[in-house]
Amino acid sequence: MTRDAARQHLSDVAVDLFAQHGFDSVTVEQIADAAGISARSVHRYFAAKEDMVIGMFEANGEFVRDALLGRPVDESVLTSLYAAIAALIHRGPQRNRDKAAMRLLATTPSVRARNVEKHLAWSGC
């Protein structure tokens, strides 16, 4: 399994557990057990538990980027963006997990704070 695939698997497992039991009730050890790896290995992929939720959004950004790159060059920007976002929304089973991650981002202060922290780092502030 590639590093990206392992990160995605851990993120999927974590978001599913958070959705079922609540973010604060789930430990890294429980995520590790559910994923079939050690807690130490989880920390190799994610610096913080919050990053397992935020990672879902990074993957979505890459999906939209790739969809945009596949659009016709003579298409308007707005049409291309609409098509890329529509593809993200309609991509199947991952959609429910994305919704769960969005709920966690909206309702969990530590996840929201970590998301802001990462955005500030990305923007160079």
* Per-domain residue ranges of the chain: 3-123
Say yes or no to pLDDT of 92 above 80.
no
- φ, ψ dihedrals at 24, nearest 5°: -70, -20
Class of domain 3-123: mainly alpha
What's residue 49's pLDDT? Answer: 95
User: Cα(81)–Cα(71) distance, rounded to whole angstroms?
Assistant: 9
Mean pLDDT value of segment 11-19: 95
Mean pLDDT value of segment 14-25: 96
Say yes or no to pLDDT of 71 above 90.
yes
pLDDT tens-digit map of 96-107: 788 888 889 999
User: Cα(57)–Cα(115) distance, rounded to whole angstroms?
Assistant: 10
pLDDT tens-digit map of 30-67: 999 999 999 999 999 999 999 999 877 777 778 889 99
What's residue 86's pLDDT? Answer: 87
Mean pLDDT value of segment 15-41: 96
What's residue 125's pLDDT? Answer: 64
What's residue 124's pLDDT? Answer: 74
What's residue 96's pLDDT? Answer: 79
